[in-house]
């Protein structure tokens, strides 16, 4: 099996896609330290749906940060331990269900008005009395939208929302492929503060005015009698809301960027709001916010001619599977005239992202309000893309935003 080599990860995904899919050998590749790399759409989808290809356990996930720190990163470890993405059977399924039940498609439909309200409130605050302002759509606008949405839902105050937003940024330093000890320290401290602030805020609100959704989650958590279970519903929610804030923010920015970069398509969507759903799906395909995550085999797994031994870590390149030319014609272009699937943006199988419905709804709300004239967004300057990190994320997305009529 050939090696992946050292692609220029992140700087130019299109060049990486063109390179990897034009190699003579197509199939799993070898990465560093025994890790296998899955990038073809069919391989990624087969592996993601395989029940014996599960989450990478906590000690493996925290290893890099601990090595960088030269000691145990307790903030990072606590955050990761409470995050469903490091949970393995038998804890994984019941802990995950606590979240998926509340974020099922039917349930999140009830949040639609709140989402629209939050998007418009944040837009008005950002543009101020003049009704127009230059800002970073990702870090100024989308980050506030996501923090405000969860904050409003859970009763967190503005100070807590602001802290969570800032700390999520610090934590994202821990998503880099390689980083200096100083970044590990910031990610670790950020994680500790993020967990403290969110978890304490959620538990305080639960005491003050019992919230039906959080109460139900708490009861389900208390029913789990397994080692490694998060101690409180505040801890469980906080850890899993890192994606709810950071990844969702990136998703909004990537979709808006896709439309700003393709003005003819934006015009089409303006004239036909039925296309909003398709445009958001295509934006999330082309610029999948989670470039890759790891899985590990819990048993020997056969993929075509290849037998993958038990205990093998596999890097699942979601963003590359989304650009497989065997599935998506002209994969590096934003097109509405193509089937929307089969995408790997949100992973799949027993680990499929529980936040996919709410993340899609929030991005659709921003696009809808933009295409129907509630807000206006003009591109000033975009990029570049962050390099060598798990997120496919623009460093900045400078725009002029206006709220007409305000």
Residues that bind ligand HEM (CB under 6 A): 48, 55, 84-85, 96, 99, 103, 240, 243-244, 247-248, 251, 288-290, 293, 295, 318, 345-349, 351-355, 358-359
Nearer to ligand HEM, 145 or 403 (CB): 145
Cα angle: 56, vertex 71, 68; to 5 degrees: 70
Q: Which two tokens stand for residue 261?
A: 């970069």
Nearer to ligand HEM, 136 or 243 (CB): 243
Cβ neighbours, 10 Å, residue 341: 14
In 3D space, the residue among 351, 406, 336 whose CA is nearest the CA of residue 376 turns out to be 406
What gap in Å lies between CA 149 and CA 140, rounded to an integer? 14
What gap in Å lies between CA 60 and CA 76, rounded to an integer? 13
Q: Shortest Cβ distance from residue 294 to ligand HEM (Å)? A: 8
Nearer to ligand HEM, 17 or 280 (CB): 280
Q: Shortest Cβ distance from residue 250 to ligand HEM (Å)? A: 7
Nearer to ligand HEM, 238 or 353 (CB): 353
Nearer to ligand HEM, 40 or 295 (CB): 295
**147 DSSP assignment:** H
Kind plus residue range of the DSSP H or E element containing 294: strand 293-297
In 3D space, the residue among 300, 345, 388 whose CA is nearest the CA of residue 13 turns out to be 388
In 3D space, the residue among 46, 45, 80, 342 whose CA is nearest the CA of residue 187 turns out to be 80
What gap in Å lies between CA 47 and CA 54, rounded to an integer? 9
In 3D space, the residue among 120, 191, 128 whose CA is nearest the CA of residue 152 turns out to be 120
Q: Shortest Cβ distance from residue 220 to ligand HEM (Å)? A: 15
Q: Shortest Cβ distance from residue 233 to ligand HEM (Å)? A: 14
Q: Shortest Cβ distance from residue 71 to ligand HEM (Å)? A: 27
Distances (CA, A) of 316 to 144, 310, 339: 30, 16, 22
Which stretches within 173-247 are classed as H helix?
A: 181-208, 212-222, 233-242
Q: Shortest Cβ distance from residue 364 to ligand HEM (Å)? A: 11
Residue 147 bridge partners (DSSP): none
Q: Shortest Cβ distance from residue 53 to ligand HEM (Å)? A: 9
Nearer to ligand HEM, 48 or 167 (CB): 48
Nearer to ligand HEM, 81 or 84 (CB): 84
Q: Collect all residues with Cβ–Cβ distance below 8 Å to 106 and sequence separation of at least 6.
A: none
Kind plus residue range of the DSSP H or E element containing 174: none
DSSP per residue over 106-148, as a string?
A: HHHGGGHHHHHHHHHHHHHHHHTTTTEEEEEIIIIIIHHHHHH
Nearer to ligand HEM, 354 or 374 (CB): 354
Q: Shortest Cβ distance from residue 248 to ligand HEM (Å)? A: 4
Nearer to ligand HEM, 85 or 135 (CB): 85
DSSP per residue over 322-368, as a string?
A: TT-TTTSSSTTS--SSS---S--TT--GGG--TTHHHHHHHHHHHHH
Nearer to ligand HEM, 202 or 403 (CB): 202
- Percent helix, strand, coil in the chain, to 5, is 55, 10, 30
**386 DSSP assignment:** P
Q: Shortest Cβ distance from residue 70 to ligand HEM (Å)? A: 29
Beta strand 53-55 with 293-297: parallel, antiparallel or unpaired?
antiparallel
Q: Shortest Cβ distance from residue 90 to ligand HEM (Å)? A: 13
Residue 29 bridge partners (DSSP): 37
Nearer to ligand HEM, 41 or 345 (CB): 345
Q: Shortest Cβ distance from residue 271 to ligand HEM (Å)? A: 26
């Amino acid at each position: 099996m050939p090696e992946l080599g050292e692609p220029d990860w992140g700087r130019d995904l299109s060049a990486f896609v063109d390179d990897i899919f034009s190699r003579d050998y197509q199939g799993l590749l070898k990465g560093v330290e025994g890790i296998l790399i899955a990038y073809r759409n069919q391989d990624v989808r087969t592996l993601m749906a395989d029940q014996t290809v599960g989450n990478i356990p906590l000690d493996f996930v925290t290893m890099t940060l601990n090595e960088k720190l030269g000691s145990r990163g307790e903030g990072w470890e606590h955050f990761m331990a409470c995050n469903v993405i490091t949970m393995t059977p038998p804890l994984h399924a019941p802990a995950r269900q606590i979240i998926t039940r509340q974020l099922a498609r039917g349930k999140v439909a009830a949040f639609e008005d709140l989402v629209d309200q939050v998007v418009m409130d944040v837009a008005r605050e950002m543009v101020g009395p003049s009704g127009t302002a230059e800002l970073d759509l990702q870090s100024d606008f989308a980050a506030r939208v996501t923090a405000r949405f969860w904050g409003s839902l859970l009763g967190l105050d503005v100070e807590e929302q602001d802290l969570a937003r800032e700390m999520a940024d610090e934590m994202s330093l821990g998503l880099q492929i390689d980083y200096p000890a100083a970044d590990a320290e910031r990610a670790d401290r950020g994680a500790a503060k993020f967990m403290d602030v969110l978890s304490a805020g959620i538990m305080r609100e639960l005491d003050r005015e019992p919230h039906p959704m959080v109460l139900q989650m708490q009861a389900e958590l208390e029913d789990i009698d397994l080692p490694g279970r998060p101690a409180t519903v505040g801890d469980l929610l906080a850890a899993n809301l890192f994606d709810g804030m950071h990844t969702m923010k990136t998703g909004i920015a990537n979709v808006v960027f896709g439309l700003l970069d393709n003005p003819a398509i934006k015009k089409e969507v303006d004239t036909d709001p039925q296309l909003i759903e398709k445009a958001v799906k295509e934006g999330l395909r082309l610029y999948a916010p989670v470039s890759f995550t790891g899985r590990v085999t819990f048993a020997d797994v056969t993929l075509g001619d290849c037998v993958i031994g038990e205990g093998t870590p596999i890097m699942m390149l979601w963003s590359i599977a989304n650009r497989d030319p065997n599935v998506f014609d002209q994969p590096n272009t934003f097109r509405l005239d193509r089937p929307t699937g089969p995408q790997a943006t949100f992973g799949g199988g027993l680990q499929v992202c529980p936040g996919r419905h709410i993340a899609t709804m929030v991005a659709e709300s921003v696009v809808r309000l933009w295409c129907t004239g509630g807000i206006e967004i003009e591109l000033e300057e975009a990029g570049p893309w962050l390099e060598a990190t798990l997120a496919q994320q623009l460093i900045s997305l400078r725009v002029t935003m206006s709220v007409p009529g305000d």
